[in-house]
Amino acid sequence: MASLERSRSEPSAFARELFDGLPGRYDALAELLSFGQNRRWRAAMVDAVAAMDPPPGRVLDVATGTAGVALMLAGRTEAEVFGVDLTEQMLRRGRDRVAKRDAAGRVRLLLGRGEQLPCPDASFDALTFTYLLRYVADPAATIAELVRVVRPGGVLASLEFAVPGHPVWRTAWHGYTRLVLPVAGLVAGGREWGSVGRFLGPSISEHYRAYPVDWTVEAWRAAGMGAVDVRPMSLGGGLVMSGRKAV
């Protein structure tokens, strides 16, 4: 459990080290180990931005990693997309993907932290963030910081792992994350993915013990978000949220 203790005491440094060795095979293994659900969850999150009327002109993707969501946003909207991540290795892989898609004119990737965005107030029409809140010291303050850079009337949308509520699916999820995922990660991706596999399940469980979904919804509202929608995905293994900033 040393990794869980480190993730609590030094969350940003821990996240940077955890993801440093993953970029080369990150996208393929993320799909494999999520049984192909990762892409579907991301698409559901992006739906909230793609449906905006009028369409967004500038969108920020926080914890962009290898730019998967940023490229999806660019493909489904005409917006200028900015991606922020704290791991240089992930951004390097992301820039390669952006270049291969000929999207450099639409997608810009920057080094930065979700807890302290280098952006003026109300400077984006929409903001997305993925698998972020388990890696910050103060989720409420981070949510407030994310909302800060969204204009009034703009959209905030997120994707996080979750713990299924139904006892049957929760038992199955617990077995998969504690037993199958560590071994599958090690076999498919080596030591780095084995470490992620061991960490992931306990990290998700601990996060929701401290910050249940109802707490997160209230944190969004306290930060100025309205019409907050909560959408469990894949029997509760994923959680997509979206809302509009109060005008």
Q: Is residue 40 part of a domain?
A: yes
- CATH number for the domain that contains residue 38: 3.40.50.150
Three-state SS for the chain is CHHHHHHHHCHHHHHHHHHHCCHHHHHHHHHHHCCCHHHHHHHHHHHHHHCCCCCCCEEEEECCCCCHHHHHHHHHCCCEEEEEECCHHHHHHHHHHHHHCCCCCCEEEEECECCECCCCCCCEEEEEEECCHHHCCCHHHHHHHHHHCEEEEEEEEEEEECCCCCHHHHHHHHHHHHHHHHHHHHHHHCHHHHHHHHHHHHHHHHHHHHCCHHHHHHHHHHCCEEEEEEEEEHHHCEEEEEEEECC
Q: Is residue 195 part of a domain?
A: no
Q: Is residue 226 part of a domain?
A: yes
Q: What percent of the chain has pLDDT over 70?
A: 82
* Number of domains forming the structure of the chain: 1
Q: Is residue 179 part of a domain?
A: no
**Range scoring the smallest mean pLDDT among 166-170, 183-187, 217-221:** 183-187
Q: Is residue 198 part of a domain?
A: no
Q: Is residue 42 part of a domain?
A: yes
List, for residues 48-103, the tens digit of each pLDDT value.
999 999 999 999 999 999 999 999 999 999 999 999 999 898 899 999 999 999 99
- pTM summary value: 0.87
For 130, the domain range is 2-164+211-245
Give the model's pLDDT for residue 179: 84
Q: Is residue 197 part of a domain?
A: no
Q: Is residue 50 part of a domain?
A: yes
List, for residues 53-66, the tens digit of each pLDDT value.
999 999 999 999 99
